[in-house]
Structures are given as C-alpha cells and as structure tokens.
C-alpha cells in the first residue's frame, strides 16, 4: 500500500497568486493595515496559521487568537468564493490532476490524501472548484498547527488508522521549496510539480523527481515506486 499525499496550491490547483491576494485583501479589510508580503518565504513557517499569527504579532505586538483567526478565515473564504464566481477561468487544475486522483483512488494499491499548509476549509473550496474530491479521512491542513511537519504527520496517522497498518511507502507531492525542505527533514519520498515547467526551482533545492503535469498516469505511478527523499 502506497500513501500518496498531495499539497494543494500549485500542486493540484493554481491561481497565479490570486488566492494569496485574497488572503492579503481579507486581512486589509478587517484590520486596516497593509499586508506585509505574499512572498511566503518571508515567514517562519509556510502555513496559514503561522502567516496570520506572524502578521498579527508584527502589527499589534501580541499573538493571534483562534476566535479572530476563525473570523479572518470566514472573510478569506468569502473572497475565494466571490473571485471564483466572477472569474472562474483564473482558477484551474494542474493538467490531469483530477483524473489522476480519481485513478489512484480507484486502485486498491494506493491511499490518497492531502496535506496542505493552508487551512482546511479554504483548501476544500479550491479543490471543489476544479472537481477534486479527497474526502474527510485523509485530509489535514494548518488548523491548529504551525509547522508543515505536523500536517503531514496527521495524514500519515490517519492512514495508519484507516488501513490498520503503516503504509509500505509514503510519497509527498508538492510544488514549492518548503515542500522539499519538509520532506528532507522527515526523510519522506518526494515528487515535485512545476506546472510552468521551471523544474530547476525544486532541483536546486535537492528534489530528485520533478514533473510538469499529471497527464501520463502510468509514468506518475512508476515515479511513486521510484521516488526518494530530497538530497
């Protein structure tokens, strides 16, 4: 049994940073302060929980609370839905993603999950827009978690409970430098995805396998057998 865990933004769906701009806009509407940056590399952990808390600390000198995070999340999701209603073509699946997920889910050799640095509900909006369904059992987001390692660990524990045993292999599929770093730290096998074709972004970080899309399902399944942790 191979557990295949996907990131969301840039890995299964992409929006050309429009979703990041929604995050910043929601913050500015609520707090009346300019959002510092949507370059997520500037934050100590690339998770919605950490990003939101970091900016609150910078602006107000205190940690964020769960109540205000929930209030912010509601406004953020409202903007996500509105933008998709007004310009649905701006939000697309990475080529072949939905078909690949469906094929893996139908194949008894695989368990398919999601581990995203975003909060779970916004991630579900993004996936739902392109028709990708993961289900509740193997899905973890940044809700209540600061670091990405804890998010991946939660999906692996969910898989152990669902399967009754530890999967023989775990492969994480992601698109960003921090995905390479996280899987290297955890010594998890990794497949990189760069839908724009700029493979070197991940290769120079140590990724061994980087693809552009999921159109060749058989080739992706071969990679699941071959994938290794980043160097």
Angle, to 10 degrees, between the axis of helix 120-129 and the axis of helix 66-86?
A: 10
For residue 191, give the CATH number of its domain: 3.40.50.1000
Q: In terms of Cα–Cα distance, which of 183, 176, 150 is closest to 50?
A: 150
Q: Domain of residue 174: give its range.
A: 2-14+92-226
* pLDDT tens profile 144-156: 999 999 999 999 9
Give the pLDDT of residue 137. Answer: 87
Asked whether residue 8 falls in the same domain as residue 69, the answer is no
pTM score of the predicted model: 0.96
User: How many structural domains are present in the chain?
Assistant: 2
Question: Is residue 231 assigned to a domain?
Answer: no
Q: What is the mean pLDDT of the chain?
A: 96
Mean pLDDT of 48-66: 98
For the chain, percent of residues with pLDDT exceeding 90:
94
Q: Give pLDDT tens digits for 93-122.
A: 999 999 999 999 999 999 999 999 999 999
- Provide Rg for the chain, Cα atoms: 17
Given the structure tokens 């769960």, which residue do they identify?
Answer: 66
| Nearest partner of 94 among 197, 208, 181, judged by Cα | 197
Residue-level pLDDT at 16: 87
- The DSSP letter of residue 206 is T
- Six-digit token string for 112: 């398919």
Residues 25 and 102 occupy one common structural domain:
no
| Cβ contact 113:3 at 8 Å | yes
In a domain, residue 156? The reply is yes
Q: What DSSP designation does 64 have?
A: -
Give me the residue label for tokens 């969910």. 158
């Amino acid at each position: 049994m191979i557990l295949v865990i996907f990131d969301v933004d840039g890995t299964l769906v992409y929006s050309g940073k429009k979703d990041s701009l929604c995050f910043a806009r929601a913050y500015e509407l609520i707090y009346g302060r300019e959002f510092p940056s949507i370059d997520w590399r500037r934050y100590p952990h690339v998770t919605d929980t950490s990003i939101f808390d970091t900016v609150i600390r910078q602006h107000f000198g205190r940690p964020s609370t769960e109540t205000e995070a929930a209030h912010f999340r509601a406004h953020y999701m409202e903007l996500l839905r509105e933008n998709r209603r007004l310009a649905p073509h701006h939000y697309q699946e990475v080529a072949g993603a939905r078909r690949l997920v469906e094929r893996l889910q139908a194949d008894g050799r695989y368990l398919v999950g999601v581990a995203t640095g975003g909060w779970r509900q916004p991630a579900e909006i993004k996936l739902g827009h392109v028709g990708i369904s993961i289900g509740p059992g193997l899905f973890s987001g940044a809700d209540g978690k600061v670091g990405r390692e804890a998010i991946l660990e939660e999906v692996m524990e969910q898989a152990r409970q669902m399967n009754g045993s530890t999967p023989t292999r775990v492969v994480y599929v992601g698109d960003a430098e921090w995905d390479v770093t996280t899987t290297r730290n955890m010594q998890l096998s990794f497949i990189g995805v760069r839908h724009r074709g700029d493979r070197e972004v991940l290769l120079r970080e140590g990724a061994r396998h980087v693809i552009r899309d999921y159109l060749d399902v058989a080739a992706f399944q071969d990679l699941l057998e071959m994938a290794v942790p980043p160097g």
